[in-house]
Amino acid sequence: MSTTYSIRFASNPKDIDAYDTERLREEFLIPDLFKTGQINLVYTHYDRFIIGGVQPGNTALKLETIPPLKAEHFLDRRELGVINIGQKGVVTVDGKEYTVDYKEALYIGKGAKEVSFSKSGQEQPLFYLNSAPAHHSYPTKVITKKDSQVVELGSLQTSNHRTIRKLIVNDILETCQLQMGMTELEEGSVWNTMPPHIHDRRMETYLYFDLPEDQVVCHFLGEPDNTRHIWLHNQQAVLSPPWSIHAGSGTSNYTFIWGMAGENLDYGDMEGCKQTELR
């Protein structure tokens, strides 16, 4: 079986007062998503969100259902977002092949029966997966860079000049609750999502990549007046509960993928936090 999974339970914001470094990492860090010839999934109790990584070998990898879903097929009651952070690859959905290039996305709607991931020739794709419960079936669709909504924010003066590419959002295609995109920091900038915010009606995940192997990112989480931090390396992910800020600063510039699910699809549904009031 090429599909493996683990489970993460939701946490109370008061609990992290007692967490040491290892416990923080155990609860929120997802360190090893990409392994050759495997589909690795993390099923979370935050909005029943699933995070995954797929690194195809010489044969296609089939996305299999996992016991927590209590379903015959993975997407019987779910939708799936895929973003490729490697070389060009192929995702096959119920017999139809979709080519997904670097930093492109694929949305797969509820009800698809068979999904598999494979290489395109000798190129090595790395497929990052986000999945959320779904109540309706929407069409499968590739979203390229030119299809994305682009927003430029920040400045070099504040070390947070960044380009946000909205890929799987309701302004581009219909989804039930899944939202995904990526933020690319310009050279010389290291801060993302600063000043930070929280959105109590949605959870979020970050996957950090495009980070040199000898560089790191410090991810900040917790309530605005009670923050904690976790150090991450390239191609590692982190969970952000609805009650938590989510911001990071790297020792170089990088890219991160944000994925969200929850009560609504409004990208701007958030509460800003003044950086001068962080504790």
Sign of CA pseudo-dihedral 45, 83, 236, 37:
positive
Single residue among 73, 104, 137 that ends a domain in this structure? 137
Q: Is the pLDDT of residue 267 over 80?
A: no
DSSP structure string for 158-211: GT--EEEEEEESTTTS--SS-EEEEEEEPTT--EESSS-EE-TTEEEEEEEES-
Residue whose pair of structure tokens reads 């990112």 in the numeric block: 217
Write the pLDDT tens digit of every residue in 192-250.
887 888 887 789 999 999 999 999 999 999 999 999 999 999 999 999 999 999 999 99
Q: Which domain holds residue 189?
A: 146-277
Q: Which pLDDT score, from 0 to 100, does residue 68 have?
A: 96
57 lies in the same domain as 156: no
The C-alpha atoms of residue 46 and residue 264 are separated, in whole angstroms, by 15
pLDDT band at 1, cuts 50/70/90?
low
- Domain identity same for 102 and 168: no
Tally the domains of the chain. Answer: 2
Q: pTM, whole model, 2 decimals?
A: 0.96
Q: Looking at the structure, tell me whether residues 155 and 250 fall in a common domain.
A: yes
Angle at the Cα of 257 from the Cα atoms of 207 and 90, rounded to 5 degrees = 95
Q: Which one of 137, 165, 191 terminates a domain?
A: 137
Shared domain check, 264 and 150: yes
| Local structure of residue 80 (DSSP, 8 states) | E
Same domain, 127 and 155: no
Residue at which a domain ends, from 97, 116, 137: 137
